Structure 1
Amino acid sequence: MVTSVIFMGTPEFSVPVLEGLIKNNYEIKAVVTQPDKKVGRKQKITKTPAKIAAEKHDLPVFQPVKLSGSEEMQQVIDMHADLIVTAAYGQFLPTKFLKSVKIAAVNVHGSLLPKYRGGAPIQYSLINGDAETGITIMEMVKKMDAGDIYSQKAIKIEPDDNAGTLFSKLSIVGRDLLLETLPSIIDGSIKKIPQDPDKVVFSPNITKEQERIVPTMTATEANNMIRALNPDPGAYMMLEGKRFKVWKAEVAKDSTDLKPGCVVANKGRFAISFADGTVLNLLEVQPSGKKKMDIKNFLNGQGSKFAPGEEIVDK
């Protein structure tokens, strides 16, 4: 018997999960995703990755600004699906909706719950310098990411991982773990594990203030933030009053006596001093009003004006 699914997702992370369900003969009754958004300088209306994938398979798409109480929610409830499957949808789901399906409402979450409930679990695993992260397949309840755990799988965080690479890896892990777990959810044989409330850690959405790198951070803390905010929205420091984005860096092996925020070297590398004598080598940057560039191009241009020992990073 074919199992029917209401799928809910928005970013690229959700696409392999949706494609996996389709390929494994689940009946997708509808795809619910966030509204199209204006993107970039030209404010071009852009479809969500989940919508693009849904349209490719001629699936019905619903995009309520707010799901709760919407006409779209009632339309989806009236489809009487067996399952709701969500993967980074981006809105709270009302209890009425969660209880409307015949079997279960299942979420593919990008962390090893109860660590990192909330909207930015992948970013926080990088910010905090974790050695591993993973996927949790969980039962959805009204409280955010608080449902019982069906299954989990961990992966190692590599030194060169950023949010973009981890999202890509975890979307595949999420797809495979979901497909592995669903049969036992459907036949009722799975044993759910409640989350330990004493181990809950939250990962709220990244604020504008968090995007800024300040010299009071250590080089490791600054580098972790750079990795966490690549590819979106990007971390920056204020260099002589101007926003200076850093897309890639590495913690240098050397240390310095210079106070934080100074140029340690600008020949062959561009190194900045941070707290506790630590040093960060900048590898890919984007000065205000310019395109991304590797550090060699920066040093051949405006980077050449900075002298070692000069304090250039605003506090």
Structure 2
Amino acid sequence: MRIVFAGTPEVAVPALNALAESGHELVGVVTRPDAPAGRGRKLVASPVAQRAEELGVPVLKPEHPRDPEFQEQLKALRPDCCPVVAYGALLPQSALDIPEHGWVNLHFSCLPAWRGAAPVQHSIWAGDEVTGATTFRIVKALDAGPTFGVMTERIRPTDTAGDLLERLAEGGAGLLVATLDGIEDGSLVAREQPEDGVSFAPKILVEDARIDWTLPAVQIDRQVRACTPGPGAWTTFEGERFKIAPVTLLDADGDEAPALAPGTLEVRKNAVLVGTGTTAVRLGEVKAFGKKQMQAADWARGTRVETGAVLGAE
């Protein structure tokens, strides 16, 4: 089939690579416009655009896919199908109708669970043991189109959203190619999603990532891992924002887990513990305001933080 791929961030690049190496004819790539990045705020092409240029594939960067000029350019490419991974813009029906086989999205959850912008983060935060990726035909309703295929992936106890998304991006790339193969030879038929089991995964905002130290340790651990690398879990220390990388859960029955009030620190020679609503956790890397990210013990030593100091106090 003639295909036009749509995607924007780094997580979409494995799928682009897989499609470029497949038996399908990659005739174009659609991505978001160049965006400011870095200290100089210079316009930078998306990771997908950069990779497409390396592959020598024409790149379209519409301000919005409803733009008539873009839709004419897409029609001129005569795609049979448009595979999508994390493109980042809503597609109007006029664009969805252009390819004969529609737009086929690779979504990083086992639909109908976790429809929305942040399925991987929400699956970790909720404590799911298994997640996956699903291919489906895009319709007007959010992630509600009929599905073609699914893969599953176990969520490991220390997985961050970044870790899990990297594995799903690699595994999902193969699923997307297999889906296009099945559409082309007629062996795959899309099936409507069940009405039961629908859940939603809206984008996680910075304010959502603030830690409430009165919550149980397990819940805080999941929150921090779900918010890593973005938007980044945080609390406050001495009135300034204080970023928290993944923490370590401690054995409630061992000597390692002292009874600490929520947010209260215990500073040891090579570790810093903090109290939660249940057992204490050990901090990993932290980033104090105006400082580089470093191990919590190094931060405590360098800033002379003592036992009894409190995180999250206003």
**TM-score, normalised via structure 2 length:** 0.93
Residue 49 of structure 2 aligns with which residue? 51
1:313 paired with 2:312, answer: yes
C-alpha displacement at 1:296, in angstroms? 3.4
> Helix, strand or coil: the match of 1:76?
helix
Q: Which residue of 2 aligns with 1:238?
A: 236
The counterpart of 2:70, out of the listed 69, 72, 82, is 72
From the superposition, tell whether residues 278 and 56 of structure 1 become closer, same or farther in structure 2 (CA, over 3 Å).
Answer: same
Q: 132, 135, 138: which is aligned to 1:134?
A: 132
What do residues 199-226 of structure 1 show as CA deviations (whole Å, max 9, x unaligned)? 1101011122112112122222222122
> What is the identity, as a one-letter code, of the residue corresponding to 1:260?
P
CA distance in 1, matches of 2:74, 2:213: 50
Larger mean Cα displacement after TM superposition, 102-111 or 4-13: 102-111
Distance 1:21 1:185 in 2: 14
Contact in 1 for aligned 2:29/2:60 (Cα 8 Å) = yes
TM (normalized to structure 1)?
0.93
Which ranges of structure 2 fall in alignment gaps of 5 or more residues? none
Summarize the Cα distance change of 1:70–1:267 in structure 2 as closer, same or farther, 3 Å threshold. farther
**Aligned counterparts of 1:168 and 1:211: Cα–Cα separation in 2:** 21
Q: Which runs of 5+ in 1 are unaligned?
A: none
Map Cα deviations across residues 154-174 of structure 1 (whole Å, 9 max, x no partner). Answer: 010111211111121011111
Question: Which residue of 25, 31, 37 corresponds with 1:27?
Answer: 25
- 1:269 equivalent in structure 2: 271
Other structure's SS at 2:131 match: strand
CA change 1:70–1:294 in 2 (3 A) is: farther
Counterpart-to-counterpart distance in 2, 1:105 and 1:116 = 20
Q: Using the TM superposition, name which of 64-73 and 137-146 deviates more.
A: 64-73
Q: Which amino acid aligns with 1:288?
A: F
Name the CA distance, whole Å, in 2 between partners of 1:200 and 1:207.
22
1:57-83 Cα deviation digits (max 9, x unpaired):
111111122222342233113322100
CA contact (8 A) 1:214 1:314 kept: no
Larger deviation, residues 113-122 vs 208-217: 208-217
Deviates more, 1:129-138 or 1:259-268: 259-268
What residue number does 1:187 align with? 185
Question: Does the CA contact (< 8 Å) of 1:219 and 1:280 recur in 2?
Answer: yes
Give the aligned length. Answer: 310
In structure 2, relative to structure 1, the CA distance for the partners of 1:70 and 1:253 (3 Å cut) is: farther
Alignment of 1:32-43 (within 5 A): 32-43=30-41
Partner of 2:289: 288
Counterparts in 2 of 1:125-274, with a 5 A limit?
A: 125-254=123-252, 255-274=257-276
SS at match of 2:143: coil
Shift in CA distance, 51/4, structure 1 to aligned 2, threshold 3 Å? same
Structure with the largest fraction of strand: 1
Change in Cα spacing, 1:274 to 1:76, as seen in structure 2 (3 Å) is same
Contact 1:64 1:70 (8 Å CA) reproduced = no
User: Counterpart amino acid of 1:211?
Assistant: A
CA distance in 1, matches of 2:75, 2:214: 51
Q: Distance in 2 between matches of 1:243 and 1:191?
A: 50
For residues 129-150 of structure 1, give each alpha carbon's deviation from its aligned partner in whole angstroms, at most 9, with x where no partner exists.
Answer: 2111111011111111101111
1 CA distance for matches of 2:269 and 2:275? 15
The answer on 1:120 being equivalent to 2:118 is: yes
Supply the distance in 1 between the matched residues of 2:213 and 2:67 (Cα, whole angstroms): 47
Find the residue that maps to 1:117 and give its secondary structure: coil
Report the CA distance between 1:189 and its aligned residue: 2.5
> Cα RMSD over matched residues?
1.7
Structure 1 residues 175 and 64, CA gap change in structure 2 (3 angstroms): same
How many Å separate the matches in 1 of 2:71 and 2:259?
60
2:271–2:282 CA contact under 8 A, matched in 1: yes
Equivalent pairs: percent with the same residue?
35
Q: Which moved more, 1:256-265 or 1:45-54?
A: 256-265
Q: Is the 8 A contact 2:260 2:274 kept in 1?
A: no
Q: Give 1:41 shift.
A: 3.3
Work out whether residues 266 and 299 of structure 1, in 8 Å CA contact, stay in contact via their aligned partners in 2. no
Aligned-partner Cα distance in 2 for 1:40–1:130: 35
Amino acid corresponding to residue 77 of structure 1 in structure 2 = K
Please identify, of 165-174 and 247-256, the stretch whose mean Cα deviation from structure 2 is larger: 247-256
Secondary structure of 2:99's partner? coil
